[in-house]
């Protein structure tokens, strides 16, 4: 049996624009998905994922129910739910050159689904690591990141960047621009996350931005302007001492850029009334800055605040179902079964 975990992430800057080649800075956070894999003697794949719920299915009884009810779950719902795990299994079979390998897979995750914290990337990264190790193949974190990207790219109909999967596989703060992925030496930033209980459909939201970008030059300019914000932000990070607490000046400047980034994402149509209300609650709670994180539509915002004020303000905001401090995850994908021959920290 092999067990692997991988972290979720928040975007300091740059989601959506990263899909069109602009840079982005996602940061891995200490909320992890854990995948347990047991190889099988046949080529079947059996998945237990208790955090995953499906809305709407039909159960048909005909005559005796000895063989159990015939559950008719609409195909698209199953595909949406299972696509990422399926794609991770395909990648692991390919990496181990074992096209007929079968697995019993259990997924457990502390990352809310579809909420912009990269649950899909964490599940795919941890799944590829656990399944390849179960087949006796040990991939390094960069290769897991690459295969996880290919899996997300396939599931999201060709609309995915390398950002989420690279951050999850490597841990820490990273910078992604097209195929160029690298670690960023940044001070530990005081992230606070607010969750509205909702979710967004990544594929649909990315398609919406793509359509606007094709329709209006000013929407294409907006995407480029997000890239400018990221470039400005990474200059600030590069000037800071990664070993020290971030200075107030740095937090002020990063916060201003986060606020601007949120405004541009809002203009591109990927925010929502509840995300905006959490962003404003964080700002009135004294955050240095706040923005939505990930695809948007519903889910999470991220704010910068070293004190408890933003978290408290969010907790008292109607529509906020959870508010928590998100520590930077310095380790990306890792074995949880004592069979690890590497961690991304050692490799970095």
Specify binding-site residues for ATP.
112-122
Q: Single out the segment in contact with Mg ion by CB under 5 A; choices: 9-17, 102-110, 116-124, 139-147.
A: 116-124
User: Site residues (CB under 6 A) for ligand PMV?
Assistant: 15-16, 18-19, 116-118, 120, 160-161, 163-164, 202, 206, 294-295
Alpha-carbon gap, residue 170 to 117, rounded angstroms: 15
Number of residues in contact with Mg ion under rule CB under 5 A: 1
Asked whether position 161 contacts Mg ion by CB under 5 A, the answer is no
Q: Phi, psi at residue 32, to the nearest 5°? A: -120, 155
Q: In the annotation, is 164 catalytic?
A: yes
Q: Give the nearest distance from C-beta 289 to Mg ion in angstroms.
A: 23
Check residue 116 for interaction with ligand ADP (CB under 6 A): yes
Q: Which range of residues in 115-123, 173-181, 270-278, 281-289 is near Mg ion by CB under 5 A?
A: 115-123
Positions 282 through 321 that interact with ligand ADP (CB under 6 A): 294-295
List 11, 13, 84, 191, residue binding ligand ADP (CB under 6 A): 84
Q: Does 87 bind ligand ADP (CB under 6 A)?
A: no
Out of ligand ADP, Mg ion, ligand PMV, none, which partner does residue 246 contact, by CB within 5 to 8 A per kind?
none
Closer by beta carbon to ligand ADP, 116 or else 172: 116
Cα–Cα dist 277/194, whole Å: 10
18, interface contact from Mg ion, ligand ADP, ligand PMV, none, CB < 5-8 Å by kind: ligand PMV
CA distances from 320 to 198, 275, 325 (A): 10, 9, 14
Region binding ligand ADP by CB under 6 A among candidate stretches 71-79, 109-117, 269-277, 332-340 = 109-117
d(CA 269, CA 341): 44
In the complex, minimum distance from the CB of residue 85 to ligand ADP, in angstroms, rounded to a whole number = 6
165 makes contact with Mg ion (CB under 5 A): no
CB 116 within 8 A of CB 299: yes
Q: Which residues pair with 7 in a beta bridge?
A: 32
Q: Is 120 in the site for Mg ion (CB under 5 A)?
A: yes
Quick one: how far is CA 161 from the chain centroid? 11
Return the bridge partners of 36, or none: 3, 106
Q: Which of 3, 12, 95, 115 binds ligand ADP (CB under 6 A)?
A: 115
By CB under 6 A, tell whether 123 contacts ligand ADP. Answer: yes
The alpha-carbon radius of gyration of the chain (Å, integer) is 20
Shortest distance (Å) from residue 286 CB to ligand PMV: 26
- Output the smallest distance, CB 331 to ligand ADP, in A: 19
Tokens standing for residue 264: 């541009």
Q: What is the distance between the alpha carbons of residues 142 and 140, in angstroms, rounded to a whole number?
A: 6
- Please tell me whether residue 50 adopts helix, strand or coil conformation: coil
Q: Two tokens at 188?
A: 């530990």
Per the residue annotation, which of 86, 129, 164, 196 is the catalytic one? 164
What lies within 8 Å, CB to CB, of 289 at 6+ separation is 254, 255, 256, 257, 258, 259, 283, 303, 304
Q: x/- contact string, 220-259, with ligand ADP (CB under 6 A)?
A: ----------------------------------------
Distances (CA, A) of 23 to 127, 228, 282: 27, 9, 26
Which residues, listed in sequence order, are joined to residue 173 by a DSSP beta bridge? 27, 184
What is the dihedral angle through the alpha carbons of 308, 312, 315, 318, rounded to the nearest 10 degrees?
Answer: -140
Residue 52 binds ligand ADP, judged by CB under 6 A: yes
| Helix/strand/coil for 319 | coil
Active site residues: 164
The residues binding ligand ADP (CB under 6 A) are: 33, 49, 51-52, 80-81, 83-85, 107, 109, 113-121, 123, 202, 294-295
């Amino acid at each position: 049996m092999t067990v692997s975990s991988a972290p979720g992430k928040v975007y300091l800057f740059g989601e959506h624009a990263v899909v069109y080649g602009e840079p982005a800075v996602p940061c891995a956070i200490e909320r992890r998905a854990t995948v347990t894999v047991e190889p099988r003697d046949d080529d079947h794949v059996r998945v237990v994922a208790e955090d995953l719920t499906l809305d709407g299915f039909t159960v048909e009884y005909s005559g005796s129910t000895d063989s159990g009810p015939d559950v008719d779950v609409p195909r698209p719902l199953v595909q949406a739910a299972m696509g990422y795990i399926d794609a991770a299994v395909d990648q692991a079979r390919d990496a181990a050159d074992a096209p007929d390998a079968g697995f019993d897979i259990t997924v457990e995750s502390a990352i809310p689904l579809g909420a912009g914290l990269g649950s899909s990337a964490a599940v795919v990264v941890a799944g590829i690591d656990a399944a390849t190790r179960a087949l006796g193949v040990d991939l390094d974190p960069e290769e897991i990141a690459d295969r996880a990207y290919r899996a997300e790219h396939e599931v999201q109909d060709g609309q995915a960047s390398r950002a989420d999967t690279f951050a999850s596989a490597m841990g820490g703060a990273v910078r992604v621009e097209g195929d160029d992925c690298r670690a960023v030496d940044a001070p530990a930033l005081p992230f606070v996350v607010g969750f509205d209980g909702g979710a967004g459909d990544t594929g649909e939201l990315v398609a919406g931005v793509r359509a606007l970008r094709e329709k209006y030059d000013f929407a294409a300019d907006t995407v480029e302007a997000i890239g400018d914000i990221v470039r400005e932000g990474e200059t600030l990070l590069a000037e800071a001492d990664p070993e020290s607490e971030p200075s107030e000046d740095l937090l002020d400047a990063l916060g201003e850029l986060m606020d601007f980034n949120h405004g541009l994402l809002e203009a591109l149509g990927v925010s929502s009334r509840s995300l905006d209300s959490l962003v404003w609650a964080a700002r009135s709670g004294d955050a240095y800055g706040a923005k939505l994180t990930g695809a948007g539509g519903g889910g999470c915002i991220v704010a910068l605040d070293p004190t408890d004020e933003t978290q408290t303000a969010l907790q008292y905001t109607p529509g906020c179902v959870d508010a928590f401090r998100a520590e930077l995850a310095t380790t990306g994908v890792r074995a949880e079964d004592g069979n690890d021959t590497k961690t991304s920290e050692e490799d970095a």
